């Protein structure tokens, strides 16, 4: 029996964004804002919106997973587990992962959702990797997807410019070599919970005429306070995972950051000592898709990656939650 530790690797990635493009110029017609303000403060030019009746986050997840199964030539019946990171589940229950499993024909899979806001994908990826490392699961799909437009007030200029809809999914399998997920650091601080939240709709404040009148079913965020925590913690945790694994900036091929604000990403890259050529961005075209940003970024830049490339994933979000994950990319395109 080999004593070698099993490692999980990403063996495929696929993303999906809806067709409708909500541009900064269209937002200028909805609220008192400008392309100039949005670009200089956030780096966002446009975002995608899932239009139509009865279109929940599972629609995004199903597109991602179907594409992933096709691309990796995987039979849906061979999937053991689907984990979906989201804060905009179709319903509070059943889990969105369960709905996705049903719609893609993953009849031998079970699943659950992870609620960690913008850090959701890193939380879910590290969770998924442990089922592979334990040797109990062979094929695990991790989805990060959010339909943020379902909780946005399009008369609130502070928030409506920031978010968009989209998602991505990765397939995790046992690694055949030293590549794959090497390490991760996860943190949370519940004392920051009320600075970025959805106030109503849970057991604390179930939906009522009052919660609707108060617009409590829309995202609430104290932007500049969250910004300060995000800048510090995302940079700290990215530096910490590098130090812990004896990586210097030359060893890092790419930073794959959560895409909430270009200024937060720049601060993280600066602290890591990596130049802009190593920082993967798609905030300009999708905005903040919450759990969707990192897998969407992996999908957008997949062709750039070479086997053995060291990637650092990093995120900060509601909760507060934050984390970083170090992986060695496992395949060439």
| Residues binding ligand UT7 (CB under 6 A) | 33, 37-38, 41-42, 118, 157-158, 161, 223-224, 226-227, 230, 260-261, 264, 288, 316-318
List all residues 6 or more positions away from 165 whose beta carbon is below 8 Å from its beta carbon.
Answer: 17, 18, 47, 48, 49, 50, 60, 146, 147, 148, 149, 289, 292
In terms of DSSP H, where are the helices of 180-222?
209-213
- Residue 14 DSSP symbol: E
Catalytic member of 9, 84, 118, 197 = 118
- Least distance from ligand UT7 to the Cβ atom of residue 256, Å: 15
Are residues 172 and 312 in contact, defined by beta-carbon separation less than 8 angstroms? no
Considering beta carbons, is residue 252 or 315 the nearer one to ligand UT7? 315
Question: Is residue 197 among the annotated active site residues?
Answer: no
- Least distance from ligand UT7 to the Cβ atom of residue 79, Å: 29
Question: Is residue 118 among the annotated active site residues?
Answer: yes
Query: 248: helix, coil or strand?
Result: coil
Q: Sign of the C-alpha dihedral, residues 234, 239, 242, 247? A: positive
- Angstrom distance (rounded) from CA 191 to CA 56: 30
Considering beta carbons, is residue 104 or 283 the nearer one to ligand UT7? 283
Considering beta carbons, is residue 172 or 283 the nearer one to ligand UT7? 283
Question: Is residue 64 among the annotated active site residues?
Answer: no
> Over the range 25-45, which residues count as b (16 or more CB within 10 Å of their CB) and which as e?
eebeeeeebebeebeebbbbb
Are residues 315 and 234 in contact, defined by beta-carbon separation less than 8 angstroms? yes
- Least distance from ligand UT7 to the Cβ atom of residue 317, Å: 4
Catalytic member of 24, 233, 261, 288 = 288
* Bridge partners for 48 per DSSP: 21
Strands 180-188 and 321-328: antiparallel
- Angstrom distance (rounded) from CA 128 to CA 139: 10
Catalytic member of 14, 258, 282, 310 = 258
- Least distance from ligand UT7 to the Cβ atom of residue 209, Å: 29
Considering beta carbons, is residue 158 or 187 the nearer one to ligand UT7? 158
- Least distance from ligand UT7 to the Cβ atom of residue 118, Å: 4
Considering beta carbons, is residue 184 or 227 the nearer one to ligand UT7? 227
Angle at 181 between CA 269 and CA 191, to 5 degrees: 60
Instruction: Please give the positions annotated as active site.
Output: 118, 258, 288
């Amino acid at each position: 029996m080999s004593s070698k530790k099993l490692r999980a690797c990403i063996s495929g990635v696929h993303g999906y964004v809806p067709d409708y493009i909500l541009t900064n110029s269209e937002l200028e017609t909805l609220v008192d804002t400008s392309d100039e303000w949005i670009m200089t403060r956030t780096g966002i030019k446009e975002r995608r919106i899932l239009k139509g009746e009865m279109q929940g986050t599972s629609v995004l997840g199903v597109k991602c997973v179907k594409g992933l199964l096709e691309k990796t030539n995987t039979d849906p019946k061979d999937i053991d587990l689907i984990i979906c990171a989201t804060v905009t589940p179709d319903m509070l229950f059943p889990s969105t992962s369960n709905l996705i499993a049903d719609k893609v024909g993953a009849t031998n899979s079970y699943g659950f959702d992870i609620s960690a806001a913008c850090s959701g994908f890193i939380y879910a990826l590290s969770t998924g990797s442990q089922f592979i490392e334990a040797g109990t699961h062979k094929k695990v799909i991790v989805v990060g997807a959010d339909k943020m437009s379902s909780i946005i007030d399009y008369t609130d200029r502070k928030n409506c410019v920031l978010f968009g809809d989209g998602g991505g999914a990765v397939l995790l399998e046992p690694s055949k070599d030293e590549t794959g997920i090497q390490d991760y650091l996860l943190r949370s601080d519940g004392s920051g919970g009320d600075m970025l939240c959805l106030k109503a709709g849970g057991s604390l404040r179930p939906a009522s005429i009052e919660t609707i009148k108060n617009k409590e079913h829309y995202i609430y965020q104290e932007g500049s306070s969250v910004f300060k925590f995000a800048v510090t913690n995302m940079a700290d945790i990215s530096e910490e995972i590098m130090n812990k694994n004896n990586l210097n900036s030359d060893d890092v091929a790419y930073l794959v950051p959560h895409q909430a604000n270009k200024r937060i990403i720049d601060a993280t890259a600066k602290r890591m000592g990596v130049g802009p050529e190593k920082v993967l961005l798609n905030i300009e075209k999708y905005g903040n898709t919450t759990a969707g940003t990192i897998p969407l970024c992996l999908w957008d830049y997949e062709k750039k990656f070479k086997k053995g490339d060291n990637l650092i994933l990093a995120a900060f979000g509601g909760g507060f939650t934050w984390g970083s994950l170090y992986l060695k990319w496992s395949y060439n395109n």
